[in-house]
Structure 1
Amino acid sequence: MKQGKPLISLVILAMAAVIAIYLAYYVFDSMDEPYQIAHAYAYTAYDSVAAEGLVVRQAVLIPSQPGILEVTRAEGEKVGKGQQIALVYRDTQAQADQAQIEALQMETELLEYAIAQGGSLDSAARLDEEILQAVAELRASYAQGDCTQLWEQVMDVKSGVLKRGYTYGEGLTSTDLSDRLRKLSGELSVLTQQSARATTRISAPVPGVFSNLVDGYESRLTPETVLQLTPSSLQALIDDPAGQDAGAMGKLITSNTWSFAASLSKEAAGRLEEGGRATLRFSGELARDVEMQVDKIGPTEGDRTLVVFSSNRYLTSTTLLRHQTAELIFDSFSGLRIPKEGLRLVETTVQDKETGETIQVKKLGVYALVNGRAEFREASIVHEGSDYYVVRPVGTGPKILRAGDSIIIHATGLQEGLLLAG
């Protein structure tokens, strides 16, 4: 064991020597470089604060029922009063019968269409166009992450393809199609009667937007009670979520607007105006900037103030949102981002347009590396960050500051036209 200690010490000393040599080389190499550059790029800075709170909606719970549940509505889908929301099967056989009923219903519909068309060429062209349109709509919804109509769009594509096959692709006569239709209609009638005794349909009691999520806040937090919250009571709701309600299989959001109750610093709340507008940036399923109305400011407890915002937009995208930390944006500053070390105040000689005299003026800007030489480009400050500026170019023509320009950060004897490379 004692012989191992000198070996370990030797390895540690060797590693320290390697690190010291590397650092010395890096410092020497940096000092040896004639200049250092950074690139200007388009950037938007925000004057904003974080706003933690809860999303509030008016909702009606849909009671669950014993059996095998099959929800037939997508998350965020609009549902009319009396329309089907879900099916509850007594057992797995009833569930299998329902799947067969839906398949038979589609096939009978397609046969009826094929019999009615009679093989017309115009109908074939129209069907081809409908199939292409259905595929395009399905692809667009998938690309946008919109699944509210996904099942219907898939069925549209399938229906169009099957219609085309029945009508023009399988060589069936009108008599063949009619015979098959009669047979399938008989099977469908028998199955429907059997299924009625083993399947329960859950319908919407009121019109609204369907959601599978039942998190227990539905009764604790409503558009009425949200106006009575304080910063401390809001925090208590955040810290003590109720959890999912086992007695409900979903809910219908019945309000046309949704609210967001947040606890802000007293200073941030003071920058808002009750009845005014504010922009909040949400994440998650919403993932966008939303312009909202400021419904209520206050009460204030200590240095925290409760603020309630509301909006009548994007309701179908908020069904899964509850506890959120949004970004409350007061202002934005767009331009080109450059390091603070790159901005310079230079003195230059110009001719006064009125008197014709030569005068000295000071200009703010940067030196850009162009064809190996330093070229001054004037700029104005839009916003100051911790280690950067957001600037805008001043002037017109080819010698203005642009995104992608190489900005000289450090150089010896830096001046207009200085040759640095080439």
Structure 2
Amino acid sequence: MKQGKLINRIMMLVLLAAVVVYLAASAWRSFRDPYAFVMSYAYTVDDSLEATGFLVREETVLSGGGGTVELLPEEGEKVARGETVALLYQSGEGLERRQELESLTLEREQLEYALERAQTGGDASQLSQQVLDAIADLHASVAAGDLTRLEEEAQKLKSLVYKREYTFSEGEGEGDASAAIQASLDEVEAQISALTAQAAQDTTAVTAGQSGVFSGQTDGFESQLTPDKLETITAAELTQLARQQPAADSGAVGKLITDATWYFVFAAGSEEAQRLHQGSSVTVRFSRDWSGEVDMTVERVGEPEEDGQCAVVLSTDRYLSETTLLRRQTVELVFDSREGIRVPTESIRVVEQTVTDPETEEESQVLTTGVFVLVGQQAEFKPVTVVEQMEEFALVVPADGVSDSEALRAGDQIILSSVELTDGAVILDS
């Protein structure tokens, strides 16, 4: 036999022996230690239904031309009628000009602020110290995480720097500083006017025709799914829509959502739809592209169709700005939630206890449901009421009438035992 094969066989035998020893040790330990411990914890069981459908809103597509598009509002931001929502540049130079205009506008604000400070007077000899104080204030605010006055403090520092520069370069008088700042301000104003005139030739503004909530994304469903169509939409039509992938308008720069009320429409089986009644409320839980819960009103439950499906329409006027990017979603309809403490199903025990009547002082035997908990080195019986029984776990709450010391709490160590347990039994570590 070759030496390599002999070594491989020896290694296999050693590995097999290790596995056998481990299994034997585990079996011996299980035989000697019949106890296992599981921590209980707070848990919620939902009575819910999964549904896949579409979000529907009153939407108006905003069209623009070609070129580079710059969106001004944030996603989900409210805009007023006539407000500019996008700028269209015919070339890359237009976008660069826009950025230069923003920089000059900020510089103009700083110069105006510096001019105002210069005209109100002040000792030029103290400017250096004022600059240092402003730097210290700004640093202290950032270090403390207090950003409420950050913009004000930054503007103050910039104005002091401007004032100091012009004061010491043009002379010690406040009039000289004011004149120098005014001259710079006039020059910036001239540059802004020139760039604005140039921008008018190759920049187009897209304005909002009416007030609403802005979204920078279109998906082609804006005209196919409207609130008016929800009055007659069927489950079969929803199935057909789910198979489509409509193309968005290539010339669109975004859309306006012009009504605060939005809808969620989906198809449900007739038995599931019976749980929904027009005018009632149901909690809808989103968890994929947006995490949140919203209470929605049942607007319509359609009649069962040939395949037993019904079209269901829900509505709400909350969280519109947070859901502008959502269209086809899978959600949970939560009808009821039960809270309690989760324990293993096999830990539930029924124990016979002796109860004394406080009036007659007569003793009687009653059966009490509960779990055994490890307290120190002893097993302590905690009476519970089973709220929900599942295959692998049970949702329980402390039984009525038990004292705080006897009540089961989240975090208690539940005892799982293969032998009979009694209240007060000593549990020794193996």
Q: How does 1:193-212 map to 2 (within 5 A)?
A: 193-212=197-216
Provide the residue aligned with 1:283 in structure 2: 287
2:407 to 396, 400, 417: 400
Q: Where does structure 1 lack aligned partners over 5 or more consecutive residues?
A: 140-155
Q: How does 1:406-421 map to 2 (within 5 A)?
A: 406-421=413-428
Aligned AA for 1:368? V
- Displacement of 1:177: 2.1
- Give the conservation status (yes or no) of the 8 Å contact 2:66–2:251: no
Give the direction of change, closer, same or farther, for the CA distance of 1:307–1:11 in structure 2 (3 Å limit). Answer: farther
Instruction: Name the SS for the 2:256 alignment partner.
Output: strand
Provide the residue aligned with 2:115 in structure 1: 115
Aligned AA for 2:108? T
1:317 maps onto 2:309 in alignment: no
- Per-residue CA deviation, residues 46-70 of structure 1 (Å, 9 max, x unaligned), is 0111011111111101113111111
Provide the residue aligned with 1:70 in structure 2: 70
Give the direction of change, closer, same or farther, for the CA distance of 1:288–1:136 in structure 2 (3 Å limit). Answer: farther
Separation in structure 2 between the aligned mates of residue 15 and residue 226 of structure 1, nearest angstrom: 68
Give the direction of change, closer, same or farther, for the CA distance of 1:264–1:386 in structure 2 (3 Å limit). Answer: farther
1:387 maps onto 2:392 in alignment: yes
- Give the conservation status (yes or no) of the 8 Å contact 1:110–1:162: no
Q: How does 1:23-422 map to 2 (within 5 A)?
A: 23-118=23-118, 159-170=151-162, 171=164, 172=166, 173-301=177-305, 302-394=307-399, 395-421=402-428
Greater CA deviation, 8-17 or 166-175?
Answer: 8-17
Give the direction of change, closer, same or farther, for the CA distance of 1:274–1:137 in structure 2 (3 Å limit). Answer: farther
Separation in structure 1 between the aligned mates of residue 332 and residue 5 of structure 2, nearest angstrom: 56
Aligned AA for 2:312? V
- Per-residue CA deviation, residues 163-199 of structure 1 (Å, 9 max, x unaligned), is 2123334514333322221111111111111111121
- State the TM-score, normalizing by the size of structure 1: 0.86
Separation in structure 1 between the aligned mates of residue 403 and residue 414 of structure 2, nearest angstrom: 18
- Give the conservation status (yes or no) of the 8 Å contact 2:141–2:147: no
Separation in structure 1 between the aligned mates of residue 240 and residue 321 of structure 2, nearest angstrom: 27
Separation in structure 1 between the aligned mates of residue 426 and residue 260 of structure 2, nearest angstrom: 65
- Give the conservation status (yes or no) of the 8 Å contact 1:217–1:242: yes
Give the direction of change, closer, same or farther, for the CA distance of 1:378–1:59 in structure 2 (3 Å limit). Answer: same
- Displacement of 1:138: 7.4
Aligned AA for 2:202? A
Give the direction of change, closer, same or farther, for the CA distance of 1:231–1:253 in structure 2 (3 Å limit). Answer: same
Separation in structure 2 between the aligned mates of residue 71 and residue 30 of structure 1, nearest angstrom: 67
Provide the residue aligned with 1:151 in structure 2: none
Instruction: Name the SS for the 1:383 alignment partner.
Output: strand
Separation in structure 2 between the aligned mates of residue 104 and residue 358 of structure 1, nearest angstrom: 91
Separation in structure 1 between the aligned mates of residue 10 and residue 386 of structure 2, nearest angstrom: 55
Separation in structure 2 between the aligned mates of residue 331 and residue 136 of structure 1, nearest angstrom: 42
Aligned AA for 1:218? E
Give the direction of change, closer, same or farther, for the CA distance of 1:285–1:78 in structure 2 (3 Å limit). Answer: farther
Instruction: Name the SS for the 1:166 alignment partner.
Output: helix
Instruction: Name the SS for the 2:27 alignment partner.
Output: helix
Separation in structure 1 between the aligned mates of residue 316 and residue 15 of structure 2, nearest angstrom: 61
Aligned AA for 1:58? E
Aligned AA for 2:82? G
- Per-residue CA deviation, residues 119-159 of structure 1 (Å, 9 max, x unaligned), is 689xx99xx79x969x97979xxxxxxxxxxxxxxxx95x5
Q: How much identity, in percent, do the aligned residues show?
A: 36
- Per-residue CA deviation, residues 13-53 of structure 1 (Å, 9 max, x unaligned), is 87666555544443333233231111110111101110111
Instruction: Name the SS for the 2:267 alignment partner.
Output: strand
- Give the conservation status (yes or no) of the 8 Å contact 1:285–1:317: no
- Per-residue CA deviation, residues 240-280 of structure 1 (Å, 9 max, x unaligned), is 12133213121111111110001122222111111111111
Aligned AA for 1:104? L
- Give the conservation status (yes or no) of the 8 Å contact 1:34–1:420: no
Give the direction of change, closer, same or farther, for the CA distance of 1:240–1:183 in structure 2 (3 Å limit). Answer: same
Separation in structure 2 between the aligned mates of residue 211 and residue 371 of structure 1, nearest angstrom: 60
- Displacement of 1:10: 8.9
Aligned AA for 1:256? A
Aligned AA for 1:416? D
Instruction: Name the SS for the 2:198 alignment partner.
Output: helix
- Give the conservation status (yes or no) of the 8 Å contact 1:230–1:300: no
- Displacement of 1:321: 0.4
Q: How many residues align?
A: 399
Aligned AA for 2:200? A
Instruction: Name the SS for the 1:275 alignment partner.
Output: coil
Give the direction of change, closer, same or farther, for the CA distance of 1:10–1:53 in structure 2 (3 Å limit). Answer: farther
- Displacement of 1:9: 9.0
Task: Say what the alpha-carbon RMSD is for the aligned residues.
Answer: 3.0
Give the direction of change, closer, same or farther, for the CA distance of 1:7–1:297 in structure 2 (3 Å limit). Answer: farther
Instruction: Name the SS for the 1:245 alignment partner.
Output: coil
- Give the conservation status (yes or no) of the 8 Å contact 1:38–1:407: yes
- Displacement of 1:384: 1.7
Instruction: Name the SS for the 2:304 alignment partner.
Output: strand
